[in-house]
Amino acid sequence: MRLNNRIRLHILTGFLGSGKSTLLRRYLHGSALAPRVAVLINEFGVVAIDHTLVRAFSNHGQSLAGGCACCDGDAALRESLLSILTQIESGEMRGVEDIVLETSGVSDPSRILGTIAGEMHLAEYLEVSNCVTVVEVGTDARLVGRFPEMQNQIASASRIVLTKGDQHPAYASEGTASLVRSINPLAEIVIMDEHTDFAPLFAPATAPQGVPALARDHQSKFNTFHLEMDESLTWPAFSVWLTALLHCHGDQILRFKGIIPLPGSMTQALVLQGVRHRVYEPEHIDIDDSQRATAFGLVFICAAEMEDRISTALARFKKLSAHQAISIPNAEKAMPLKWGQPRWAKDDPEVVQRDAHLPRFFSRARP
Amino acid sequence: MLVNKMVSALGLRVEDYDGEAFNIQVANGATQKVSNLGELWHAVERLHGAPVDPLSPQFLKAGQT
């Protein structure tokens, strides 16, 4: 039972000097949205560990910190997010609906997602909405090849903003766009210029329609591949396989997107997207007869060569699941995707005691 | 159900618990309830000592039993 809407958390990442803070300032400056956005900035610096993360409320203040949220700043990140949630609940941050976390230039956003998914309170009250990655125009394959952090940031993105295009000739933007597309064909790419409207920066990304075609000639270290799906494997059975796969190999699966058949539906399918161990809420899409033959498929972006193993395993699982009566509790809504503690943990005396000091925001409905 | 094809070789049995959750049974009679598939694989790993890996060749064999 959900009593409060989840607060949306957006991750803003990008390599050192790519223009994250500038972008965030332009987003908040004069924006009608600013009062409902809390900002958390994690900088890779030398400040004492105790002050690893300092929160600031939108443009009323700036925060500065040392340590990287995806590595040693992990506990501090958790604390800061909990503290923001507490302040939203207590009214100190009235009306806040979104939190923007600006990561350090060298952080791996998918590890931050792991922190949130792994912490019961965070997963319960925060919904990771977008990962926006800033890439400077002029970034080339050699530079990306040298810094795995940059590759992870690009691969995890739902939206990629190309900045500083005005400092380069026009063709440079297209070159960088095609480079990032080759690493992450699933992200929406925005080329920033003087006409860019910043208001929808953290609006849900409009990913390329359908399952994108892949360029085969890219030089990233990632294994990006496409698997065909047909109507023989539908959502309930597929979710069994996918959850087991992510449980075992989520560390290696940076991003995936799939369009999966719904059992018995001729007009709808399910779009599924995820980052590492985390799967976002599935969405329904309408498909018509002409799309039906080609609509279904999966794209994976993996940190290691996994195409053969995953495609063999999926084919095997298809055979295994053929003619199986499938009974999955809450099949449609359930895959969901809370990877934190099960709701039964709420009755665990240890958990109840541990949570006793938490403010009302965290009081939990009994099942 | 399908999940049992994946875990039966490990000596586990999974049942639908009132359409709301999964009930995992171990051969020694112990049971554990989990509320969704994500939790299920965590629990199976805890009970069995190793995760069910859909990419491993053994998984196919397990599935055929």
Domains of chain A: 7-202 (3.40.50.300), 223-334 (3.30.1220.10)
- How far A296 CA lies from chain B's nearest CA (Å)? 21
pLDDT per position as a tens digit, A326-337:
555 444 443 433
Chain B contacts of A320, Cβ < 8 Å? 2, 5-6, 60, 63-64
* Cross-chain residue pair A325–B19, CB shorter than 8 Å: no
pLDDT bucket at A50, cuts 50 / 70 / 90: very low
Chain B contacts of A322, Cβ < 8 Å? none
Helix segments in chain A, DSSP class H: 20-28, 74-90, 109-118, 120-125, 141-146, 148-156, 170-183, 235-249, 289-292, 307-321, 331-334, 349-355
Q: What is the pLDDT of residue A6?
A: 81
* E strands present in B1-65: 12-17, 21-26, 31-34
CB proximity B19 to A under 8 Å: yes
Choose among A156, A171, A164: nearest CA to A137.
Answer: A164
A residues 161..180 contacting B (CB < 8 A)? none
What is the CB neighbour count within 10 angstroms for residue A32?
7
The token pair at B41 is: 């694989």
Q: What is the pLDDT of residue A177?
A: 93
Chain A contacts of B52, Cβ < 8 Å? 244, 247-248
CB proximity A31 to B under 8 Å: no
Whose tokens are 């294994």? That residue is A223
Query: Which residue of A246, A320, A329 is in closest CB contact with B22?
Result: A329
Is residue A180 predicted with pLDDT exceeding 50?
yes
| Angle made by CA atoms A319, A323, A329, in degrees to the nearest 5 | 100
Cα B10 versus chain centre, distance: 8
pLDDT bucket at A133, cuts 50 / 70 / 90: very high
d(CA A90, CA A87): 5
Contact A222, A141 (CB under 8 A): no
pLDDT per position as a tens digit, A160-175:
999 988 888 888 999 9
Collapsing DSSP to helix, strand or coil, B8 comes out as helix
Collapsing DSSP to helix, strand or coil, A259 comes out as strand
Span between the terminal Cα atoms of chain A, in Å: 8
- How far B50 CA lies from chain A's nearest CA (Å)? 10
d(CA A106, CA A180): 17
Chain B contacts of A330, Cβ < 8 Å? 19-20, 36
Whose tokens are 């009323």? That residue is A60
- How far A254 CA lies from chain B's nearest CA (Å)? 17
pLDDT bucket at A206, cuts 50 / 70 / 90: low
CB proximity B40 to A under 8 Å: yes
d(CA A195, CA A285): 31
pLDDT bucket at A12, cuts 50 / 70 / 90: very high
Choose among A307, A253, A306, A271: nearest CA to A110.
Answer: A253
Q: What is the pLDDT of residue A159?
A: 92
Alpha carbon distances (Å) from A147 to A124, A139, A304: 33, 11, 16
d(CA A166, CA A164): 5
Choose among A274, A284, A281, A283: nearest CA to A246.
Answer: A274
Q: Structurally, what CATH architecture does the domain formed by B2-64 represent?
A: 2-Layer Sandwich (3.30)
The DSSP annotation for A311-367 comes to HHHHHHHHHHHTT-----TTHHHHS----S--GGGGG-HHHHHHHTTS-GGG-----
d(CA A232, CA A318): 8
Query: Which residue of A310, A321, A329 is in closest CB contact with B16?
Result: A329
CB proximity A327 to B under 8 Å: yes
The pTM (predicted TM-score) of the whole model is 0.65
Chain B contacts of A335, Cβ < 8 Å? 36-38
Query: Which residue of B2, B41, B55 is in closest CB contact with A310?
Result: B55
pLDDT bucket at A176, cuts 50 / 70 / 90: very high
pLDDT per position as a tens digit, B12-64:
888 877 767 788 888 888 888 888 787 888 888 888 888 888 898 777 554 44
Is residue A52 predicted with pLDDT exceeding 70?
no
* Cross-chain residue pair B39–A321, CB shorter than 8 Å: no
Query: Which residue of A313, A335, A343 is in closest CB contact with B37?
Result: A335
CA-based nearest residue in chain A for residue B5: A320
Whose tokens are 């999955």? That residue is A328
CB proximity A247 to B under 8 Å: yes
Question: Residue range A235-248: average pLDDT?
Answer: 86
Query: Which residue of B17, B42, B64 is in closest CB contact with A247?
Result: B42
CB proximity B35 to A under 8 Å: yes
The residues near A354 (Cβ < 8 Å, ≥ 6 apart) are none
pLDDT per position as a tens digit, A25-48:
788 876 777 778 888 877 654 432
Q: When comparing pLDDT for A6 and A362, which is higher?
A: A6
d(CA A222, CA A96): 37
CB proximity B3 to A under 8 Å: yes
| Angle made by CA atoms A270, A184, A306, in degrees to the nearest 5 | 80
Exposed / middle / buried, residue B51 (Cβ in 10 Å: 0-12, 13-18, 19+): middle
DSSP-assigned beta bridge partners for residue A260: A270
